[in-house]
Amino acid sequence: MKTAICYYSRHHGNTLKVLEGMAQEAETDLIDVTTRQTVRLEGYDCVGFASGIYGFAFHQGVVNFARQYLPEGKPVFFVYTYGGAKGTGAKAMAALAREKGCPVLGEFSCKGYDTFGPFQWIGGIAKGHPDARDLENARRFYREIRERFAGGIQS
């Protein structure tokens, strides 16, 4: 299964850490939406979209990327990290996928070290995350996604 994951990860690189863990499971093209101006996703069997949560949402760059480049009907999944409040980013991405007739294979999330705003004064929250267990859970999620895909998709 040929997979790309389009991502935005800036605050502490937490989301990228998770994606790199997943990429150990199977060869995966990790596409930074801030450096890739254009991309062809048609050739992939499946496409992931990943982001830290900023203001309760996926980064707008990831949303725009999906809106612009996600082909109709392409199976998708979502990955995100957050400090303490997941927000509705994955829900919004699922709605976008529905508009394009794309089956959603699943979503993975875990906490990510957060020093945004006042949290910096207390040394941050979700310290040490993603940790080894988060990364193992992420790899398992990715394995299961791939198995589901191989067994035929039911969305």
Ligand X SMILES: Cc1cc2nc3c(=O)[nH]c(=O)nc-3n(C[C@H](O)[C@H](O)[C@H](O)COP(=O)(O)O)c2cc1C
Phi/psi for 86 (5° steps) reads -60, -30
> Stretches 3-11, 19-27, 30-38, 64-72: which one binds ligand X (CB under 6 A)?
3-11
Nearer to ligand X, 65 or 82 (CB): 82
Under rule CB under 6 A, residue 128 binds ligand X: no
For the segment 4-33, give every residue that binds ligand X (CB under 6 A): 9-16
Structure tokens at 18: 């998770």
Alpha-carbon distance of 19 to 80, in angstroms, equals 10
CB 27, min distance to ligand X, A: 22
> Stretches 21-29, 40-48, 60-68, 83-91: which one binds ligand X (CB under 6 A)?
83-91
**34, 64, 84, 120: residue in contact with ligand X (rule CB under 6 A):** 84
User: Do 28 and 3 meet the contact criterion of CB atoms below 8 Å apart?
Assistant: yes
Structure tokens at 29: 């093209």
Under rule CB under 6 A, residue 100 binds ligand X: no
Alpha-carbon distance of 22 to 31, in angstroms, equals 14
For the segment 45-74, give every residue that binds ligand X (CB under 6 A): 52-56
Alpha-carbon distance of 103 to 73, in angstroms, equals 7
